[in-house]
A and B are shown apart, each in its own frame.
Chain A
Amino acid sequence: MCLAVPGQVKSISERDGTLMADVDFGGVRKDVCLQYVPDATVGEYVVVHVGFAIQRLDEESAKQTLANFEQLGILEEEFGAK
């Protein structure tokens, strides 16, 4: 139920006074309500749950986390602590 998937905002429009976006999930396109992430822009990634963007995906943070994983254990290996 709490499954939420990142997708890329392709276009933004207003429908019945509600902010909606066309979001691309690796080739699958869905209509998504953007009312909770109103400042998302075209090209950005948002995290979508049951047709609603609930957060923007912070790409910088994603890259930083992966870079941290790359570094894990490297120091110990270099200093022969393992």
Chain B
Amino acid sequence: MKYLDEFSDPVLARRLLDQIHAVTTRPWAMMEVCGGQTHSIIRHGIDQLLPPGIEMIHGPGCPVCVTPLEMIDRALAIASQPGVIFCSFGDMLRVPGSGRDLFTVKSAGADVRVVYSPLDALNIARDNPDREVVFFGIGFETTAPANAMTVYQARRLGVRNFSLLVSHVLVPPAIAAIMEAPNCRVQAFLAAGHVCSVMGTSLYPALAARYRVPIVVTGFEPLDILEGIRQTVVQLESGSFAVTNAYPRVVPPEGNVPARQMLEDVFEVTDRTWRGIGMIPASGWRLSSRYREFDAEERFAVGEIHTDESPLCRAGEVLQGHIKPHECSAFGKECTPRNPLGATMVSSEGACAAYYAYRRLDLVEVGA
């Protein structure tokens, strides 16, 4: 497809790799924040082609992975209520809650539907005026405009049987939390290109300056990632910590202004718990008071929720870059995409799922 193939060209990839090798004089550790980039790096074996000292630390940018267990359990409770049609992106269905997931609830009779877009859920609500339709609104700044527009339209069109279960998370506070962690090894960040395409880059210079880390806005195709790494290494080698943009075809500095205005209207900043990581202050969005009547948390009383996380799963350490997925003893044994213990093994952006999908023969003992 146009503008995907061009940025996968092997000759140019070699040229970029040669440049990275030429400028690297010592080891560096950088984090790609976004799980989509993690998958691209592992799928194309980019980390294995880099100079030996260059380490890619995989970040927490997988919304399915960091959605708090309490929120998954709340989703399961709402989906189980009679009369509810519970709509979600497909990734969420296998994410383990405390003992079950949305698939289990669906097979027990709940009306759980996978949709491509939140607008599909709104259309389901319009087609089913006698049912309550809930959309599980998760995601980073890239996805939030879609959910915001859907709630805005629900209010404008008077679709009162629609509501949103909101668990949005934000990248800049997560970068700050990673840098504040006592055992942080991250020396630079590849910033998530599509998050920046919505929000722009204005929040990053202050982070780069405060933590003295280069931040390079990076895309998702192999050449995009290699160019992001190249710009990062050039900065690290010269002791600079600026914000640069390696994805200018999709990221203007101001981001998407109409989307940002909509986000400002529909959402407000809130503290958010990240699964496996803990509470990060001011790291999420919830519906603003103007849209609170569309908040599924307010609309459905589900009683007290007691969460129960797998004692084996080390997803939190994976999400913070402390361990690589295959260093978890359950990886590929008790925990597989078919029977995941944690969300990082489920999501198309989870680091464990990426390692399992692309490297299992290297890393898992055969017959173990």
CB pair B197–A54 under 8 Å, yes or no, is: yes
- Given contacts A36-B258, A36-B262, A49 and B194 within 8 Å (CB-CB): yes
Across the interface, do B1 and A50 meet the contact criterion of CB distance under 8 Å?
no
When A and B form their complex, which 7 residue pairs have the shortest distance between CB atoms, in order from nearest?
A51-B117, A26-B1, A61-B249, A62-B249, A2-B142, A52-B146, A69-B12
**B324 CB, nearest partner CB in chain A, Å:** 21
Contact across chains for B145 and A52 when beta carbons are under 8 A apart = yes
Measured CA separation A68–B143 after assembly (Å): 31
Chain A binder among B60-68, B72-80, B178-186, B269-277: B60-68
Kindly identify, within residues 165 to 214 of chain B, every residue whose CB is under 8 Å from any CB belonging to chain A: 192, 194-195, 197-198
Whether B250 pairs with A49 at a CB distance below 8 angstroms is no
Residues of B with C-beta under 8 A to A72: 15-16, 19
Chain B: interface size category: 35 or more
* Among A16, A54, A57, contact of B259 (Cβ-Cβ < 8 Å): A54
Contacts of B4 in A (CB 8 A): 5-6
Q: Considering the chains assembled together, what is the distance between the CA atoms of A70 and B360 in angstroms?
A: 35
Asked if B139 is at the interface (CB within 8 A of a chain A CB), the reply is yes
In the complex, which residues of chain A have a beta carbon less than 8 angstroms from the beta carbon of B220? 3
Residues in B whose Cβ lies below 8 Å from that of A61: 248-249
Tell me, rounded to whole Å, the shortest Cβ–Cβ distance linking B220 to chain A: 8
CB interface residues, A 1-43, toward B, < 8 Å: 1-6, 8, 16-18, 25-26, 30, 33, 35-38
Min distance, Cβ A23 to any Cβ of chain B, angstroms: 12
Interface of A is mostly: mixed
A1 adjacent to B91 (CB under 8 Å): yes
Q: In whole Å, how far is A5's beta carbon from the nearest beta carbon of chain B?
A: 8
Mark the stretch among B95-103, B149-157, B303-311 that contacts chain A: B149-157
27 contacts between A and B (CB under 8 A): A1-B63, A1-B139, A1-B348, A2-B61, A3-B36, A3-B194, A3-B220, A4-B250, A6-B3, A17-B156, A33-B146, A35-B258, A49-B142, A49-B194, A51-B116, A51-B119, A52-B117, A52-B145, A54-B145, A57-B249, A58-B248, A62-B6, A65-B227, A69-B16, A69-B223, A72-B15, A73-B18
Q: How far is the CB of B153 from chain A (nearest CB, A)?
A: 7
A-B contact count (CB 8 A): 142
CB atoms of B149 and A33 under 8 A apart: yes
B140 to chain A, nearest CB (A): 6
- Distance, CA A2 to CA B194, complexed state (A): 6
Interface of A with B (CB < 8 Å)? Answer: 1-6, 8, 16-18, 25-26, 30, 33, 35-38, 45, 47, 49-52, 54-55, 57-59, 61-62, 64-66, 69-70, 72-73, 76, 82
B320 at the interface (CB under 8 A from A): no
Q: What is the CB-to-nearest-CB distance from B113 to chain A, in angstroms, rounded to a whole number?
A: 15
Residues on A with C-beta less than 8 A from B262 are 36
Q: Which residue of B lies closest to A52 (CB)?
A: B146
For residue B325, CB closer than 8 A to chain A, the reply is no
B22: chain A residues within 8 A (beta carbon): 73, 76, 82
Task: Kindly state whether residue B2 has any CB partner on chain A within 8 Å.
Answer: yes
Q: Is the CB of A8 within 8 A of B2?
A: yes
Q: Specify the chain A residue showing the minimal Cβ separation from B248.
A: A61
A36 engages B35 (CB within 8 Å) = no
Chain A residues near B249: list those with CB within 8 A.
57-59, 61-62, 65
CA distance A65 to B245 in the complex (A): 11
Nearest CB in chain A: distance from B60 CB, A: 12
